[in-house]
Amino acid sequence: MLQKLKSYIFQELVFIENPDAFGEDDDLLQAGLDSMAIMRLVLFIENQFGVVLPDDELAPENLQTLKRLENWIRRSQHQ
């Protein structure tokens, strides 16, 4: 899951020089993930992983890192 997220984010949404060096706890928001990119990311996640991510949970604590994003997806899969 982490690799799919990372690939999508750095191929489609955020352009950084060396995405391979970006760790699962590095800050996506500081890397350039903005509000439009977040909406595209949510649509990708919902389609790719078959979950519905609640709008009221669109917050930095769920989106800030790849690891937090993965945890949010896993929680949403079990609801």
Indicate which CATH number applies to the domain containing 30.
1.10.1200.10
75: how many CB neighbours lie within 10 A of its CB? Answer: 14
**25 CB-near residues (< 8 Å, 6+ apart):** 65, 66, 67
Cα separation, 34 vs 74, whole angstroms? 23
Dihedral, CA atoms, 70, 73, 77, 79, nearest 10 degrees?
120
Over the stretch 14-64, which tens digit does the pLDDT of each residue have? 999 999 999 999 999 999 999 999 999 999 999 999 999 988 999 989 999
> Phi/psi zone of residue 51: left (φ > 0), alpha (ψ -120 to 50 degrees), beta?
beta
pLDDT over 90 (residue 70): yes
- In the chain, the number of structural domains is 1
pLDDT over 90 (residue 73): yes
Is pTM beyond 0.85? Reply is yes
Domain housing 40: 2-77
Half-sphere exposure at residue 34, Cβ-oriented, CA atoms within 13 angstroms: 4
